[in-house]
């Protein structure tokens, strides 16, 4: 069935719910299982706990596994925990190994041990193999459900092996080839395998130019690699090139979504990604670390202003332009930060070079600063009938925008150089830092040219 719109999903759910509540199991299963797993998941997410328990009782673990694989990651932990443990364990047995590992990584260690004990031995061992890999690495997101063939097989033998293994494989578009020592030596596409003569050896038709990823590679780098090469799957190897697993494009889409959410949270000054189900206390804990840091930076700004009290006393009108100067600095710094972080994450930074990027931002800051400076000079000169005040604010804006733009690009580059996530140079951090710089420039210039203002 095609992807359902929200109103279509609601209409469909009304029919399904009636069958569910009336205990018409066959009708419920016929209606529900006809839907695409994504639509099943969206309908399932919207139900109360009592209704979800009915669904658990009417679906098999294998059918429920398809639903859970499509459920929003924010809700999966809640659903798994509320299931009867034996049923939950069976559900995870039928899920892709990498998806089951993702769920278990979110659970308490005691619950993980309990689920692994209940699972059948084969599934439990496969999951344990992946659980020991560090989170957000190739090993943690790869699946061990793939088809592998040997160099000495004939095409006919390989096709027979493929038909046998395909039902349990994550994907068969690429078939990876290993030698007698289980080392990855080549790859062959399904199309090439189908059109090859049956008596040809795999080593004669495979491609030896196979791109792979080390098992400890960061998942963000994996996503970049798969995007660059347009791969549907990527093999994962150890330091001796033994084939350990594969990463499929659907896993990478989840990674990109996760990384985007993580970067957004850091740019917003939040230490961890907030979930819709978070309590007020847990949300506060994630926001507080940056807010406390920004509080101290704010005190530094206040201290700078206090050092120019004499200037303010002599020319009180300077105070009304403080929000303008600070706001412009924060805004332009955040713009430069967003460009720099994106350039680093997409690899453009390496192609262009760091000096080139900073120089580009400096020129941009100079042009925008000069433009805004001229505009504000004219406006203040007309408004306050004071050309010197207009020039002071205009020159301050120009200098501030130049410095703020350069700092917005420079700070994430420095962090990246020291292997710190550049997104940590968050919007609030850059804004507050540029507030400090802009206030210093503004009052410094005002003090230097006081004689023209009085």
Q: Domain ranges in the chain?
A: 6-141, 148-258, 280-453
Rounded Cα gap, residues 62 and 123, in angstroms: 14
**Predicted pLDDT at 241:** 93
CATH of domain 148-258: 3.10.580.10
Q: What is the DSSP string of 28-42?
A: HHHHHHTS-HHHHHH
Q: What share of the chain is helix, strand, coil (3-state, %, to 5)?
A: 70, 10, 20
Rounded Cα gap, residues 21 and 417, in angstroms: 59
Name every residue whose Cβ is closer than 8 Å to that of residue 201 and which is 6 or more positions away in sequence: 151, 152, 153, 154, 155
**Predicted pLDDT at 84:** 93
**Predicted pLDDT at 157:** 94
**Predicted pLDDT at 170:** 83
Kindly indicate whether the domain formed by 6-141 is annotated with CATH number 1.25.60.10.
Answer: yes
**Predicted pLDDT at 1:** 45
**Predicted pLDDT at 297:** 75
| Helix, strand, or coil (residue 244) | strand
Identify the helix (H) or strand (E) that includes residue 121.
Answer: helix 121-131
The per-residue pLDDT string of the chain (454 residues; one tens digit each, 9 = 90 and over) reads: 445 566 666 777 778 878 877 878 888 888 888 888 888 898 888 888 888 998 999 999 999 999 999 988 878 888 999 999 999 999 999 998 888 988 998 888 888 999 999 999 888 988 888 888 888 899 988 988 889 999 999 999 999 999 999 888 888 888 999 998 899 999 999 999 999 999 999 999 999 999 999 999 988 889 888 888 888 899 999 999 999 999 988 888 877 777 666 665 555 555 555 555 566 776 677 667 767 777 787 788 888 888 888 888 788 888 889 889 988 888 888 888 878 877 776 677 777 778 888 888 899 999 999 999 999 999 999 998 889 899 999 999 999 999 999 988 888 888 777 776 666 555 677 778 888 888 889 998 988 888 777 6
Rounded Cα gap, residues 62 and 66, in angstroms: 7
| Spatial contact of 152 and 203, defined as CB atoms under 8 Å apart | yes
CATH architecture of 280-453: Orthogonal Bundle (1.10)
Q: What phi and psi, each to the nearest 5 degrees, are found at residue 95?
A: -85, 160
């Amino acid at each position: 069935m095609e992807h359902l719109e929200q109103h279509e999903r609601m209409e469909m759910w009304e029919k399904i719910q009636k069958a569910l509540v009336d205990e018409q199991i066959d009708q419920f299963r016929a209606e529900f299982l006809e839907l695409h797993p994504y639509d099943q998941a969206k309908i399932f997410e919207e139900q109360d706990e009592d209704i979800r328990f009915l669904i658990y009782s009417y679906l098999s673990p294998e059918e429920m596994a398809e639903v859970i694989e499509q459920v929003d990651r924010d809700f999966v932990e809640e659903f798994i925990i509320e299931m009867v443990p034996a049923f939950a364990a069976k559900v995870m047995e039928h899920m892709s190994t990498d998806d089951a590992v993702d769920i278990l990584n979110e659970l308490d260690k005691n619950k993980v041990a309990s689920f692994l004990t209940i699972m059948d031995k084969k599934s439990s061992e496969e999951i344990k193999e992946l659980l020991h890999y560090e989170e957000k690495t190739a090993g943690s997101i790869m699946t061990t459900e793939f088809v592998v063939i040997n160099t000495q097989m004939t095409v006919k033998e390989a096709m027979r092996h493929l038909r046998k293994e395909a039902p349990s494989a994550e994907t068969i578009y690429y078939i990876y080839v290993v030698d007698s020592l289980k080392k990855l030596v080549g790859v062959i596409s399904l199309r090439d395998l189908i059109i090859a003569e049956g008596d040809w050896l795999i080593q004669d038709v495979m491609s030896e130019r196979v791109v792979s990823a080390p098992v400890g590679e960061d998942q963000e780098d994996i996503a970049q690699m798969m995007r660059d090469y347009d791969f549907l799957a990527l093999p994962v190897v150890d330091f001796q090139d033994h084939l350990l697993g594969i990463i499929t494009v659907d896993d990478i889409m989840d990674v990109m979504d996760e990384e985007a959410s993580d970067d957004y949270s850091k740019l917003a000054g939040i230490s961890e990604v907030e979930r819709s189900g978070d309590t007020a206390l847990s949300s506060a804990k994630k926001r507080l670390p940056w807010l406390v840091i920004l509080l101290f930076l704010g005190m530094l700004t206040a201290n700078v202003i206090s050092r120019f009290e004499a200037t303010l006393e002599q020319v009180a009108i300077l105070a009304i332009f403080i929000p303008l100067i600070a706001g412009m600095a924060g805004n332009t710094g955040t713009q430069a930060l967003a460009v720099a972080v994106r350039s680093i994450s997409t690899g453009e930074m390496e192609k262009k070079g760091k000096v080139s990027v900073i120089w580009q931002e400096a020129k941009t800051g100079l042009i925008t600063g000069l433009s805004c400076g001229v505009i504000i000079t004219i406006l203040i000169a007309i408004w306050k009938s004071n050309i010197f005040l207009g020039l002071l604010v205009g020159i301050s804006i120009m200098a501030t925008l130049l410095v703020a733009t350069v700092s917005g690009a420079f700070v994430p580059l420095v962090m990246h150089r020291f292997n710190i996530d550049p997104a940590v140079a968050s919007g609030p951090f850059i804004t507050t830092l540029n507030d400090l710089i802009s206030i210093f420039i503004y009052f410094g210039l005002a003090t230097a040219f006081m004689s023209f203002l009085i």
